[in-house]
Amino acid sequence: MAEVISGLSTSHVPAVGAAIDLGKTQEPYWQPVFKGYEFTKQWITEQNVDVVILVYNDHATAFSLELIPTFALGCAAEFPPADEGWGPRPVPVVKGHPELAAHLAQSLILDEFDMTIVNKMDVDHGLTVPLSLVYGQPAAWPCRVIPLAVNVIQYPPPTAHRCYRLGQAIGRAIAAYPEPLRVMVWGTGGMSHQLQGPRAGLINKAFDSRFLDLLVSDPEALTSITPLEFLRESGSEGIELVMWLIMRGALSARVKQVYRFYHVPASNTALGHLILECQR
Amino acid sequence: MRQPQPYDDIPGTTVFDAERSRQGYHLNQFCMSLMKAENRAAFKANEAEYLKGWPMTEAQRQVVLARDWNGMIALGGNIYFLSKLFSSDGKSFQHVAAIMTGASQDAYAKMMQEGGRSPDGNRSLAEWKTRG
């Protein structure tokens, strides 16, 4: 049977992708950021991951205001990197896993999560920056990727509680898939940041630190964070952190924290990163 | 008519909710059009003329032409859509964020390097009023 072996969370700051693409990772500003992923790049080589379910948000790229799905599951065979206005990032095409994605769609809908099924979609920095941070700059991505795009652009995004429950449903669906696949779930975005208005630049280290602690030890406690609390405490864009709860919900109740990294600033954002292994 | 919302109390913050999305629909879709190179060229060649092709309010057109970022947000613009406009201008998120806060580029970058804007004193309108 398929198995969720571990989870990973990371911010997906676009400037981080630009730093990689333009060869600036060793500049003094960026060097501490990329040093924080050296462990991960080594760790991932030993995991034999078949499929990553990559929870992220589209930033007005594949979805304009014409269509705003709350949970959109990428079921296609491949997903081209999007042109976000300055040409596509020079990264490989993302290969999907249509069989597992179809199983997920069916399982999740019967489990009462009303997923939007997407059979054609370009993927933006929200998805490709995490891949670059973990896998570097390979000629082809070494695993299949099922994108799960979550609306966090137009308020309200799905609640923390709903996201955690969706993660649990993803965990159940994967456990019921007959092929012996090693699956990771990644939650991306965050941590605290605000990109707009006179309060732009907000960073809340205390909130982020508590969030990282509880995501490991007591994720149920995080499900009571209201949308208002996210906006007030973690900034208008910090609310992306609900996507980390989808990742956590898909893991075993007890997890082992393998790695934790936190750095301010990456452009306007507090950058956070966790690796969690499932405990049976 | 806009109903009062609990998040209206967060200072210096405009939450892009369904009502603002409705208000800013054409403004944001105009920004979205700038993802295509030929549209960017047409916009740069004659901004006012290009904007006539989008059924925005005159006020929305004026804040676009003036690159009044807080003005665009106030009229229903969303920062991720506005990013298509400032990217076409060759500007970054941090550049525009600094402008929206009223700080110089250097002062904003320094604030971020020193850990960003603290939430203390920035949680509610009442705190901003007492600060003056």
CB-nearest to B10 from A200, A232, A264 is A232
Range of the domain at B128: 102-132
Whether A197 sits inside 8 A of B70 (CB atoms) is: yes
Q: Which domain holds residue A201?
A: 3-272
Domain count, chain A: 1
CB nearest to A65's CB, from B25, B40, B92: B25
Q: How far is CA A31 from the centre of its chain?
A: 22
What are B75-132's pLDDT values in tens digits? 999 999 999 999 999 999 999 999 999 999 999 999 999 999 999 999 999 999 887 5
CATH of the domain at B47: 1.10.700.10
Within a domain: B32: yes
In the stretch 149-208 of chain A, residues with CB closer than 8 A to chain B read 153-156, 192, 194-205, 207
Nearest Cβ partner for A202 among B14, B83, B122: B122
Beta bridge pairs of residue A144: A51
**Does residue B81 lie within any of the structural domains?**
yes
**Does residue A205 sit within a domain?**
yes
Q: Are residues A56 and A125 in contact, defined by beta-carbon separation less than 8 angstroms?
A: no
SS3 A41: helix
Evaluate whether residue B94 is within a structural domain: no
Please report whether residue B4 resides in a domain: no
- What digits encode the pLDDT tens for the residues A171-217? 999 999 999 999 999 999 999 999 999 999 999 999 999 999 999 99
Q: Are residues B46 and B71 in the same domain?
A: yes
Among the partner residues B18, B70, B98, nearest to A154 by beta-carbon distance: B18
Torsion sign across C-alpha atoms A240, A246, A247, A248: positive
Chain A partners within 8 Å of B81 (Cβ): 60, 64-65
> Tens digit of pLDDT for each residue in A25-63?
999 999 999 999 999 999 999 999 999 999 999 999 999
Q: What is the pLDDT of residue A279?
A: 96
CA–CA distance, B122 with B118 (Å, rounded to integer): 7
State the total domains in chain B. Answer: 2
Residue A22: inside a domain, yes or no?
yes
Residue A278 included in any domain: no
Which 228-247 residues of chain A touch chain B by CB within 8 A?
228, 231-233, 236-237
In a domain, A256, yes or no: yes
Residue ranges with strand state E in A176-246: 182-188
Catalytic residues of A: 125, 193
Asked if residue B17 is part of any domain, the answer here is yes
Does residue A280 lie in a domain region?
no
Residue A277 belongs to a domain: no
B97 part of a folded domain: no
Whole-angstrom distance, CA of residue A217 vs CA of residue A210: 11
**What value of ipTM does the predicted structure carry?**
0.96
Task: Judge if B74 and B126 occupy the same domain.
Answer: no
Same domain, B68 and B108: no
- When scoring B9, B73, B94 by the number of chain A Cβ atoms within 10 A, the one with the most, hence best to mutate, is B94
Q: Under 8 Å CB-to-CB from A196, ≥6 apart: which residues?
A: A236, A237, B13, B14, B73, B79, B97, B100
A172: closest CA of chain B, how far (Å): 33
Q: Do B97 and A153 touch (CB under 8 A)?
A: no
pLDDT, tens digit, 9 for 90 and up, residues B23-32: 999 999 999 9
Q: What is the CATH number of the domain that holds A228?
A: 3.40.830.10
A198/B7 Cβ within 8 A? no
